[in-house]
Homo-oligomer: A and B are copies of this chain.
Amino acid sequence: MDVVGIIAEYNPFHNGHLYQLNVVKKKFPKATIIVVMSGNFLERGEPAILDKWTRAREAILNGVNLVIELPVGFCVQPADRFALGAMRILRDLGVTKLVFGAEHASYDFSRLADLTGTIHGDFSIYNESYAKAYQRIVTQETGLDISNPNDLLGLSYAKANLLLGNFLNLYPIQRQAAAYHDQNLPKDSTIASASAIRSGIFTKKADISKYVPKETLEDIKNNLSLSWQDFWPMLRYRISTSSIEELAQIYAMNEGLEYRIKSKLERLGPKATFEEWISSVKSKRYTYTHLSRIAIMILLHVKNSDIEVIEQFPYIRVLGFDETGKAHLNNIKKAIEFPIIAKVSQKIVKNKLELDHQAGLVYEQFNGSRQEYGRIPFRR
Protein backbone atom coordinates (compact mmCIF):
# COMPACT_ATOMS: atom_id res chain seq x y z
CA MET A 1 0.00 0.00 0.00
CA ASP A 2 1.17 3.52 -0.76
CA VAL A 3 2.32 5.65 2.11
CA VAL A 4 2.69 9.24 0.96
CA GLY A 5 4.66 11.76 2.94
CA ILE A 6 4.33 15.54 2.89
CA ILE A 7 6.59 18.01 4.70
CA ALA A 8 4.65 21.14 5.61
CA GLU A 9 4.22 24.12 7.88
CA TYR A 10 0.49 24.85 7.29
CA ASN A 11 0.89 28.40 8.48
CA PRO A 12 -2.09 28.35 8.33
CA PHE A 13 -3.68 25.46 6.41
CA HIS A 14 -5.17 26.93 3.20
CA ASN A 15 -6.75 25.96 -0.10
CA GLY A 16 -3.35 25.48 -1.75
CA HIS A 17 -2.60 22.79 0.81
CA LEU A 18 -6.01 21.25 0.22
CA TYR A 19 -5.38 21.27 -3.52
CA GLN A 20 -2.12 19.42 -2.94
CA LEU A 21 -3.89 16.78 -0.82
CA ASN A 22 -6.50 16.31 -3.55
CA VAL A 23 -3.79 15.82 -6.18
CA VAL A 24 -2.23 13.15 -3.94
CA LYS A 25 -5.60 11.41 -3.46
CA LYS A 26 -6.27 11.39 -7.18
CA LYS A 27 -2.82 10.05 -7.97
CA PHE A 28 -2.69 7.51 -5.11
CA PRO A 29 -6.32 6.81 -4.19
CA LYS A 30 -5.56 4.24 -1.51
CA ALA A 31 -2.58 5.99 0.04
CA THR A 32 -2.13 6.81 3.70
CA ILE A 33 -1.05 10.46 3.89
CA ILE A 34 1.47 11.36 6.59
CA VAL A 35 2.49 14.96 7.19
CA VAL A 36 5.56 15.99 9.11
CA MET A 37 4.67 19.50 10.23
CA SER A 38 6.68 22.23 11.92
CA GLY A 39 5.59 22.98 15.47
CA ASN A 40 5.22 26.49 16.88
CA PHE A 41 8.33 28.03 15.33
CA LEU A 42 9.02 27.85 11.63
CA GLU A 43 11.66 27.36 8.97
CA ARG A 44 12.04 31.02 8.11
CA GLY A 45 12.61 32.03 11.71
CA GLU A 46 9.17 33.12 12.83
CA PRO A 47 6.48 32.01 15.26
CA ALA A 48 3.53 30.13 13.76
CA ILE A 49 0.35 32.19 13.40
CA LEU A 50 -1.67 29.42 15.14
CA ASP A 51 -0.32 26.76 17.46
CA LYS A 52 0.67 23.29 16.26
CA TRP A 53 -2.39 21.54 17.73
CA THR A 54 -4.76 23.88 15.94
CA ARG A 55 -2.91 23.54 12.64
CA ALA A 56 -2.66 19.74 12.94
CA ARG A 57 -6.42 19.55 13.51
CA GLU A 58 -7.04 21.64 10.38
CA ALA A 59 -4.89 19.19 8.41
CA ILE A 60 -6.61 16.07 9.78
CA LEU A 61 -10.09 17.51 9.15
CA ASN A 62 -9.03 18.24 5.58
CA GLY A 63 -7.87 14.73 4.75
CA VAL A 64 -4.42 14.13 6.23
CA ASN A 65 -4.31 10.77 8.03
CA LEU A 66 -1.46 11.38 10.44
CA VAL A 67 0.35 14.54 11.56
CA ILE A 68 3.77 14.27 13.20
CA GLU A 69 5.55 17.26 14.70
CA LEU A 70 8.98 18.17 13.41
CA PRO A 71 11.04 18.92 16.54
CA VAL A 72 11.75 22.63 16.89
CA GLY A 73 15.48 22.02 16.61
CA PHE A 74 14.94 20.92 12.99
CA CYS A 75 12.17 23.41 12.17
CA VAL A 76 14.08 26.65 12.48
CA GLN A 77 16.88 25.62 10.14
CA PRO A 78 18.13 26.17 6.60
CA ALA A 79 16.52 23.92 3.97
CA ASP A 80 19.07 21.06 4.14
CA ARG A 81 18.81 20.50 7.88
CA PHE A 82 15.09 21.06 7.94
CA ALA A 83 14.68 18.49 5.17
CA LEU A 84 16.96 15.90 6.74
CA GLY A 85 15.17 16.12 10.09
CA ALA A 86 11.79 15.60 8.44
CA MET A 87 12.97 12.89 6.05
CA ARG A 88 14.40 10.80 8.88
CA ILE A 89 10.97 10.75 10.47
CA LEU A 90 9.27 9.87 7.17
CA ARG A 91 11.68 6.99 6.63
CA ASP A 92 11.06 5.62 10.09
CA LEU A 93 7.31 5.78 9.47
CA GLY A 94 7.59 3.65 6.32
CA VAL A 95 6.81 6.41 3.84
CA THR A 96 7.41 5.38 0.21
CA LYS A 97 6.54 8.52 -1.71
CA LEU A 98 7.18 12.19 -1.07
CA VAL A 99 4.91 14.76 -2.66
CA PHE A 100 6.00 18.39 -2.66
CA GLY A 101 5.23 21.59 -4.50
CA ALA A 102 7.94 23.09 -6.70
CA GLU A 103 8.25 26.13 -8.90
CA HIS A 104 9.83 23.82 -11.50
CA ALA A 105 8.09 20.47 -11.08
CA SER A 106 9.77 19.35 -14.28
CA TYR A 107 13.21 19.22 -12.67
CA ASP A 108 14.60 15.76 -11.98
CA PHE A 109 15.32 16.43 -8.31
CA SER A 110 16.95 13.03 -7.67
CA ARG A 111 19.41 13.57 -10.48
CA LEU A 112 20.01 17.13 -9.28
CA ALA A 113 20.79 15.73 -5.85
CA ASP A 114 23.27 13.29 -7.37
CA LEU A 115 24.99 16.14 -9.16
CA THR A 116 25.01 18.60 -6.27
CA GLY A 117 25.13 16.41 -3.17
CA THR A 118 28.71 17.31 -2.41
CA ILE A 119 28.42 21.03 -3.14
CA HIS A 120 28.67 23.39 -0.25
CA GLY A 121 28.43 27.14 -0.47
CA ASP A 122 31.72 28.94 -0.77
CA PHE A 123 31.66 30.73 2.52
CA SER A 124 34.86 32.64 1.89
CA ILE A 125 33.29 35.46 -0.13
CA TYR A 126 32.42 37.70 2.70
CA ASN A 127 29.75 39.88 1.19
CA GLU A 128 27.57 36.98 0.09
CA SER A 129 25.18 34.91 2.14
CA TYR A 130 25.62 31.16 2.43
CA ALA A 131 22.37 30.55 0.55
CA LYS A 132 23.33 32.83 -2.35
CA ALA A 133 26.77 31.26 -2.60
CA TYR A 134 25.29 27.78 -2.68
CA GLN A 135 22.71 28.62 -5.33
CA ARG A 136 25.34 30.27 -7.51
CA ILE A 137 27.53 27.16 -7.47
CA VAL A 138 24.61 24.78 -8.11
CA THR A 139 23.61 26.85 -11.12
CA GLN A 140 27.21 26.81 -12.37
CA GLU A 141 27.32 23.01 -12.10
CA THR A 142 23.86 22.13 -13.42
CA GLY A 143 22.74 25.06 -15.53
CA LEU A 144 19.44 25.13 -13.59
CA ASP A 145 17.99 27.96 -11.55
CA ILE A 146 17.19 26.75 -8.04
CA SER A 147 16.68 30.14 -6.46
CA ASN A 148 12.95 29.61 -5.87
CA PRO A 149 12.20 28.54 -2.31
CA ASN A 150 10.19 25.40 -3.11
CA ASP A 151 12.66 24.21 -5.75
CA LEU A 152 15.38 24.64 -3.18
CA LEU A 153 13.43 22.68 -0.58
CA GLY A 154 12.78 19.98 -3.19
CA LEU A 155 16.48 19.69 -3.82
CA SER A 156 17.05 19.44 -0.07
CA TYR A 157 14.49 16.62 0.17
CA ALA A 158 16.21 14.83 -2.69
CA LYS A 159 19.62 15.21 -1.06
CA ALA A 160 18.27 13.92 2.26
CA ASN A 161 16.72 10.99 0.42
CA LEU A 162 20.10 10.20 -1.12
CA LEU A 163 21.78 10.37 2.29
CA LEU A 164 19.13 8.09 3.79
CA GLY A 165 19.51 5.42 1.09
CA ASN A 166 16.88 6.59 -1.42
CA PHE A 167 14.06 5.10 0.66
CA LEU A 168 11.30 6.93 -1.22
CA ASN A 169 10.28 8.30 -4.61
CA LEU A 170 9.89 12.01 -5.22
CA TYR A 171 6.73 13.50 -6.76
CA PRO A 172 7.08 17.21 -7.36
CA ILE A 173 3.80 19.00 -8.09
CA GLN A 174 3.71 22.22 -10.04
CA ARG A 175 3.00 25.07 -7.59
CA GLN A 176 -0.34 26.75 -8.21
CA ALA A 177 -1.17 30.36 -7.64
CA ALA A 178 1.16 33.09 -6.70
CA ALA A 179 4.79 32.81 -5.79
CA TYR A 180 5.73 32.05 -2.22
CA HIS A 181 6.36 35.63 -1.36
CA ASP A 182 3.47 37.16 -3.25
CA GLN A 183 1.67 39.42 -0.82
CA ASN A 184 -1.43 39.79 -2.98
CA LEU A 185 -4.67 37.90 -2.54
CA PRO A 186 -5.66 37.06 -6.16
CA LYS A 187 -9.19 37.99 -7.23
CA ASP A 188 -9.61 35.25 -9.80
CA SER A 189 -8.48 32.27 -7.72
CA THR A 190 -9.28 30.61 -4.40
CA ILE A 191 -5.61 29.87 -3.85
CA ALA A 192 -3.27 32.44 -2.32
CA SER A 193 0.14 32.19 -0.73
CA ALA A 194 0.26 31.55 3.02
CA SER A 195 2.19 34.76 3.32
CA ALA A 196 -0.56 36.79 1.58
CA ILE A 197 -3.16 35.13 3.79
CA ARG A 198 -1.24 35.93 6.98
CA SER A 199 -0.76 39.46 5.82
CA GLY A 200 -4.53 39.71 5.26
CA ILE A 201 -5.15 38.40 8.76
CA PHE A 202 -2.72 40.76 10.46
CA THR A 203 -3.80 43.90 8.66
CA LYS A 204 -7.45 42.85 9.12
CA LYS A 205 -8.16 44.66 5.88
CA ALA A 206 -8.72 41.67 3.66
CA ASP A 207 -11.39 39.00 3.59
CA ILE A 208 -9.48 35.74 3.50
CA SER A 209 -12.49 33.41 3.71
CA LYS A 210 -12.17 32.54 0.01
CA TYR A 211 -8.66 31.15 0.41
CA VAL A 212 -8.93 28.84 3.41
CA PRO A 213 -11.18 25.93 4.39
CA LYS A 214 -13.86 26.64 7.01
CA GLU A 215 -11.84 24.99 9.80
CA THR A 216 -9.00 27.47 9.34
CA LEU A 217 -11.41 30.38 9.16
CA GLU A 218 -12.92 29.37 12.48
CA ASP A 219 -9.51 28.89 14.06
CA ILE A 220 -8.49 32.37 13.01
CA LYS A 221 -11.67 33.78 14.51
CA ASN A 222 -11.25 31.91 17.78
CA ASN A 223 -7.53 32.32 18.42
CA LEU A 224 -5.00 35.09 18.69
CA SER A 225 -2.88 35.27 15.54
CA LEU A 226 0.72 35.45 16.66
CA SER A 227 3.72 36.98 14.95
CA TRP A 228 7.13 38.36 15.79
CA GLN A 229 5.38 41.47 17.05
CA ASP A 230 4.21 39.45 20.06
CA PHE A 231 7.52 37.77 20.80
CA TRP A 232 9.78 40.75 20.12
CA PRO A 233 9.62 42.19 23.67
CA MET A 234 10.92 38.85 25.00
CA LEU A 235 13.69 38.74 22.42
CA ARG A 236 14.88 42.26 23.13
CA TYR A 237 14.69 41.61 26.88
CA ARG A 238 16.78 38.47 26.38
CA ILE A 239 19.41 40.24 24.30
CA SER A 240 19.56 43.12 26.81
CA THR A 241 20.13 40.81 29.76
CA SER A 242 22.59 38.42 28.10
CA SER A 243 26.31 39.04 28.13
CA ILE A 244 28.32 38.82 24.91
CA GLU A 245 29.69 35.49 26.17
CA GLU A 246 26.20 34.14 26.75
CA LEU A 247 25.00 35.24 23.31
CA ALA A 248 28.06 33.63 21.74
CA GLN A 249 26.88 30.26 23.07
CA ILE A 250 23.63 30.41 21.10
CA TYR A 251 23.34 27.92 18.25
CA ALA A 252 24.50 29.24 14.85
CA MET A 253 25.94 32.39 16.40
CA ASN A 254 29.35 32.90 14.87
CA GLU A 255 31.82 35.36 13.37
CA GLY A 256 31.19 37.78 16.21
CA LEU A 257 27.57 38.33 15.21
CA GLU A 258 26.72 38.55 18.93
CA TYR A 259 28.40 41.97 19.16
CA ARG A 260 26.46 43.32 16.21
CA ILE A 261 23.17 41.94 17.52
CA LYS A 262 23.61 43.55 20.92
CA SER A 263 25.11 46.89 19.91
CA LYS A 264 22.57 47.59 17.16
CA LEU A 265 19.76 46.98 19.63
CA GLU A 266 21.23 49.37 22.19
CA ARG A 267 21.77 52.01 19.56
CA LEU A 268 18.16 51.80 18.35
CA GLY A 269 16.76 52.36 21.83
CA PRO A 270 13.62 51.25 23.62
CA LYS A 271 11.10 51.98 20.88
CA ALA A 272 12.65 49.92 18.07
CA THR A 273 10.53 47.27 16.36
CA PHE A 274 11.67 43.76 15.42
CA GLU A 275 11.91 44.79 11.78
CA GLU A 276 13.97 47.88 12.58
CA TRP A 277 16.35 45.84 14.66
CA ILE A 278 16.80 43.06 12.13
CA SER A 279 17.19 45.54 9.28
CA SER A 280 19.95 47.27 11.20
CA VAL A 281 21.80 43.97 11.73
CA LYS A 282 21.19 42.74 8.17
CA SER A 283 23.99 42.78 5.63
CA LYS A 284 24.91 41.01 2.41
CA ARG A 285 26.45 38.33 4.58
CA TYR A 286 23.52 37.94 6.97
CA THR A 287 20.14 37.71 5.30
CA TYR A 288 16.86 38.61 6.94
CA THR A 289 15.95 34.92 7.13
CA HIS A 290 19.28 33.87 8.61
CA LEU A 291 18.96 36.54 11.30
CA SER A 292 15.33 35.64 11.96
CA ARG A 293 16.40 32.05 12.64
CA ILE A 294 19.11 33.24 14.99
CA ALA A 295 16.50 35.45 16.66
CA ILE A 296 14.39 32.35 17.36
CA MET A 297 17.47 30.55 18.69
CA ILE A 298 18.08 33.44 21.10
CA LEU A 299 14.41 33.61 22.04
CA LEU A 300 14.26 29.88 22.80
CA HIS A 301 17.76 29.87 24.28
CA VAL A 302 19.00 27.09 21.98
CA LYS A 303 22.61 26.04 22.33
CA ASN A 304 24.74 23.73 20.20
CA SER A 305 24.31 20.89 22.67
CA ASP A 306 20.49 21.11 22.36
CA ILE A 307 20.69 20.55 18.62
CA GLU A 308 23.14 17.68 19.05
CA VAL A 309 20.72 15.99 21.43
CA ILE A 310 17.78 16.06 19.02
CA GLU A 311 19.99 14.87 16.17
CA GLN A 312 21.16 11.90 18.22
CA PHE A 313 17.84 11.01 19.81
CA PRO A 314 15.04 11.55 17.34
CA TYR A 315 11.43 10.77 18.25
CA ILE A 316 8.00 10.73 16.69
CA ARG A 317 5.62 13.17 18.27
CA VAL A 318 2.03 12.56 17.22
CA LEU A 319 -0.17 15.68 16.90
CA GLY A 320 -3.24 14.15 15.26
CA PHE A 321 -4.63 11.19 13.30
CA ASP A 322 -7.76 9.61 11.85
CA GLU A 323 -8.65 5.89 11.67
CA THR A 324 -6.38 5.32 8.67
CA GLY A 325 -3.47 7.06 10.37
CA LYS A 326 -4.03 5.09 13.55
CA ALA A 327 -4.13 1.79 11.63
CA HIS A 328 -0.88 2.68 9.91
CA LEU A 329 0.82 3.45 13.22
CA ASN A 330 -0.39 0.12 14.63
CA ASN A 331 0.81 -1.75 11.55
CA ILE A 332 4.34 -0.44 11.60
CA LYS A 333 4.75 -0.07 15.38
CA LYS A 334 7.23 -2.94 15.59
CA ALA A 335 9.33 -1.74 12.70
CA ILE A 336 9.69 1.80 14.05
CA GLU A 337 13.05 2.70 15.56
CA PHE A 338 12.24 6.07 17.09
CA PRO A 339 10.13 6.28 20.25
CA ILE A 340 6.55 7.41 19.66
CA ILE A 341 5.34 10.20 21.96
CA ALA A 342 1.61 10.66 22.22
CA LYS A 343 1.32 12.24 25.66
CA VAL A 344 3.92 14.34 27.44
CA SER A 345 5.05 13.37 30.91
CA GLN A 346 7.73 14.96 33.09
CA LYS A 347 9.99 12.00 32.40
CA ILE A 348 9.66 12.43 28.66
CA VAL A 349 10.36 16.16 28.94
CA LYS A 350 13.50 15.49 30.90
CA ASN A 351 14.85 12.84 28.56
CA LYS A 352 13.73 13.88 25.11
CA LEU A 353 11.53 16.90 24.81
CA GLU A 354 13.41 19.56 26.76
CA LEU A 355 13.76 21.94 23.83
CA ASP A 356 10.25 21.42 22.45
CA HIS A 357 8.85 21.79 25.94
CA GLN A 358 10.70 25.07 26.40
CA ALA A 359 9.47 26.32 23.03
CA GLY A 360 5.97 25.33 24.09
CA LEU A 361 6.22 27.35 27.30
CA VAL A 362 7.30 30.45 25.36
CA TYR A 363 4.54 30.04 22.80
CA GLU A 364 1.77 29.34 25.30
CA GLN A 365 2.63 32.51 27.20
CA PHE A 366 1.04 34.41 24.29
CA ASN A 367 -1.34 31.86 23.00
CA GLY A 368 -2.78 31.09 26.45
CA SER A 369 -3.33 27.40 25.78
CA ARG A 370 -1.02 24.73 27.13
CA GLN A 371 1.25 23.22 24.50
CA GLU A 372 2.80 20.22 26.21
CA TYR A 373 1.70 18.77 29.54
CA GLY A 374 -1.62 17.03 29.32
CA ARG A 375 -2.11 17.55 25.59
CA ILE A 376 -3.13 14.51 23.57
CA PRO A 377 -3.26 14.12 19.79
CA PHE A 378 -6.35 15.26 17.91
CA ARG A 379 -8.38 12.23 16.87
CA ARG A 380 -10.89 12.23 14.08
Residues of A within 8 A of B (CB): 233-234, 236-238, 240-242, 266, 269-271, 299-301, 358, 361-362, 364-365, 367-370, 373
Contacts and interface: CB of A to CB of B under 8 A. Distances in A.
B234 A266 contact: no
Nearest to A300: B241
Contacts of A361: 240-241, 266, 270
B240 A270 contact: no
Contacts of A271: 368
A237 B240 contact: no
Contact of A364 (B242, B270, B299, B358): B270
Nearest to A365: B270
Counted per complex, copies of this chain come to 2
B301 A365 contact: no
Given A241-B300, A301-B241, A301-B242, A236 B365 contact: yes
Given A233-B234, A358-B240, A370 B301 contact: no
Contacts of A237: 234, 237-238, 362, 365
Given A233-B234, A237-B234, A270 B369 contact: yes
A303 to B, nearest CB: 10
A373 B266 contact: yes
A249 to B, nearest CB: 11
A240 B365 contact: yes
Nearest to A239: B361
Contacts of A241: 238, 299-301, 358, 361-362
Contacts of A299: 241
A243 B299 CA distance: 14
Contacts of A364: 269-270
A244 to B, nearest CB: 10
A22 to B, nearest CB: 37
Given A238-B241, A241-B358, 14 more contacts: A234-B237, A236-B365, A237-B237, A237-B365, A238-B238, A240-B365, A241-B299, A269-B370, A270-B364, A270-B365, A270-B368, A270-B369, A270-B370, A271-B368
A258 to B, nearest CB: 15
Question: Nearest 6 pairs between A and B by C-beta?
Answer: A240-B361, A270-B364, A241-B301, A234-B237, A270-B368, A270-B365
A236 B362 CA distance: 9
A238 B235 CA distance: 10
26 contacts: A233-B233, A233-B234, A233-B365, A234-B237, A237-B362, A237-B365, A238-B238, A238-B241, A240-B358, A240-B361, A240-B365, A241-B299, A241-B300, A241-B301, A241-B358, A241-B361, A241-B362, A242-B301, A266-B361, A266-B373, A269-B370, A270-B364, A270-B365, A270-B369, A270-B370, A271-B368
